[in-house]
Structure 1
Amino acid sequence: MTDSDIMRHRLRNQLLGGSSHTSAATVVQWMGCVQADDYAAAKRSIAARLLAPRYNDTDRLINEGLLRRSFLLKPLPALATAADSARIQPFTLSGVQQAGRRLHRMLGIDAVLLKQSRRRLEAALRDGQQLTRVQLAPILGLGPQDLRMPFLLMDAELEGVIRNGPLAGNTFTYQLQPHAPTNYDAAEALWLLTDRYFRSRGPARLQDFVAWSGLSAPQGKKGIAMARLAYQVVEGEAYWYAADMEVTAPVIRRMKELPKDGEFRMAYDS
């Protein structure tokens, strides 16, 4: 396997060298998650991986609750299927919260402000209310452009108070998060995350997976062992991929244009 082969495999596995998918749901499930800090860019990224742009049903799936925007891997929003989010987020939760706390200190967010914000959000979203970030800002005593605003909302989501609701136009709303069982299968979550990554983004290195997922290197190694991946050594480095991947490098006749911060750039450690 050469560097050129690796690039062509990645283009195919990321659905950029051709795709038969006709729904955003199956694209997002294949990818595991799609970065969604910029929702418009996330929709373009999904559209690039569909058989035809007219099949882009991302808005509808979000409004129906089948796709969910949440902080799945890092303190950055990502789109995932509701089913995958429920299985993976309890496993990655502590790592995302720890990364968020480091940012809290930089912004002067303390425990008192976090507790107060959660309480105000819970009161404002009672009885099925669905409000946008702009509508929630004055309730928290902040301006809509206050840098603390997204971090207070992220904290409330990770603490199980709120979650993203349906879209209001092109803007996400927030609603109360239903109480859900806290039991989860950590081994299943690690296997799922590993399998999703290397199946959709392989061949890739351990450090690529760690950089993308936010997991530690020991966790990444454990996931690779659980997923029973195949690998080849290229220039002294192991490149892992799904064991059933066709190893003959595909012919890529044309490529899709992606947003500059799309999955292809963010999936690998530079």
Structure 2
Amino acid sequence: MVTMELPEIRARRLIAQRLSPTAALEPLRTPMEAASWMTATQGQTYRAGIRALALRCGCADEEVDGAVEKREIVRCWPQRGTLHFTAAVDARWLMRLGNPRVAAQAANRRPGLGLTPDNVETARRTLHDALLQSDEPIARPDCYALFAAAGVDPTEGRGPHLMRALGGEGEVVQGPQQSRHDTFFHADQLPEPHAEPSDPAAESARRYTLSHGPVTVKDFVWWSGLTVAAAKKALASAAMTDDVIEQDGMYLGAWQSGVTQEEMAAALAAEYHLPAFDEYLLGYSDKSFALADELRPRVLTKNGISWDFVVRDGVATGREGD
């Protein structure tokens, strides 16, 4: 079996992420289709996440905003304690899959923040009650005011910690921003029934492989936040389906057997203007396939800062405007 060279890996990832077309897949026509295909799209910066989805379905940012307004797409914490955009129907199962390790780390921080288990339970009950009783999403400052009224001080980092921790449990999601403030509503207020995969880890692995492949176990560990053992088991389960194939230690969608050399050449020949934190870089453990070390300070720092960037030949060439 021939090992894939870097240019092929780049081309296949660009195509899998729907940044470049292929006849092997139907085009994504709506923001909802894009969110569902990507499973979880980095949304650490709100507008960048909106742009990332728009690029993948060839629509205007305003169409993605509309899907968020209609609660077809939500912003939430499905993995690694980091904000992503997901299809609304996927939000709850993804958060419940990815939350246990994040929750354990969060609990260890609480003594230093001056938060007791009783404080957390009071905040949880207060937030859930308020969200379920509200017809509109509640803005972040108003959530903090609710905590304070219930006797839980949200200052000195406690408010953001509580919102992230309670959000990751699967009951709270974000709606449209209001004057740059995040807004929140209860997952029970979503218009469509929640998806419930029989094996959430395997389903996550399958969909990640379809939309990001070729990928390695290490990539999936990074992206999902699962343990190495859990990730290996999930990928092995995914590879037992007709949707996923394994080649030389890498996993990719079986649909990629229909990708042509001409399509891969076109993917590498195109120029891409991608938003900060785009999945083309954030979706993989090892960013070096597309980002040289000397360019990291200009595009994506190791302490979590990113800017819009340009990709040529499948490689980041610098920050937008350089």
Question: TM bucket by the smaller chain?
Answer: 0.7 to 0.9
Farther-moved stretch of structure 1 (31-40 vs 15-24): 15-24
**C-alpha root-mean-square deviation of aligned residues, in Å?**
3.0
Q: Using the alignment, how far apart are the partners of 1:224 and 1:126 within structure 2?
A: 37
Farther-moved stretch of structure 1 (73-82 vs 143-152): 143-152
The answer to whether the 8 Å contact 2:41/2:84 transfers is: yes
Q: Using the alignment, how far apart are the partners of 1:128 and 1:97 within structure 2?
A: 27
Farther-moved stretch of structure 1 (117-126 vs 173-182): 173-182
Query: Does the C-alpha gap of structure 1 residues 99 and 264 become closer, same or farther in structure 2, counting only changes over 3 Å?
Result: farther
Q: Using the alignment, how far apart are the partners of 2:224 and 2:88 within structure 1?
A: 18
Query: Does the C-alpha gap of structure 1 residues 56 and 103 become closer, same or farther in structure 2, counting only changes over 3 Å?
Result: farther
The answer to whether the 8 Å contact 1:62/1:167 transfers is: no
Q: Using the alignment, how far apart are the partners of 2:112 and 2:198 within structure 1?
A: 31
Q: Using the alignment, how far apart are the partners of 1:55 and 1:139 within structure 2?
A: 32
Of 218, 221, 236, the residue aligned with 1:207 is: 218
Query: Does the C-alpha gap of structure 1 residues 182 and 258 become closer, same or farther in structure 2, counting only changes over 3 Å?
Result: closer
- Aligned pairs, how many? 264
Higher relative contact order (Cα pairs below 8 Å, separated by 6+ residues): 1
Identical counterparts, % of pairs: 23
Structure-2 residue corresponding to 1:154: 164
Q: TM-score, normalised by structure 2?
A: 0.71
Structure 2 letter corresponding to 1:14: Q
Q: Using the alignment, how far apart are the partners of 2:76 and 2:61 within structure 1?
A: 23
Of 73, 82, 107, the residue aligned with 1:76 is: 82
Tell me the SS of whatever aligns to 1:118.
helix
| Structure 2 stretches lacking a partner, 5+ long | 287-322
Query: Does the C-alpha gap of structure 1 residues 106 and 266 become closer, same or farther in structure 2, counting only changes over 3 Å?
Result: farther
Structure 1 residue 90 displacement after superposition: 2.9
| Structure 1 stretches lacking a partner, 5+ long | none
Q: Using the alignment, how far apart are the partners of 2:196 and 2:54 within structure 1?
A: 32
Equivalent residue runs for 1:57-206 within 5 Å: 57-105=63-111, 107-125=113-131, 127-128=133-134, 130-141=137-148, 146-159=156-169, 162-168=172-178, 171-178=181-188, 184-187=196-199, 189-206=200-217
- Map Cα deviations across residues 145-183 of structure 1 (whole Å, 9 max, x no partner): 843222211233345654334543554322344399999
Tell me the SS of whatever aligns to 1:203.
coil
Structure-2 residue corresponding to 1:41: 48
Structure 1 letter corresponding to 2:96: P
Matching of residue 22 in structure 1 with residue 6 in structure 2: no
Query: Does the C-alpha gap of structure 1 residues 144 and 43 become closer, same or farther in structure 2, counting only changes over 3 Å?
Result: farther
Q: Using the alignment, how far apart are the partners of 2:166 and 2:180 within structure 1?
A: 22
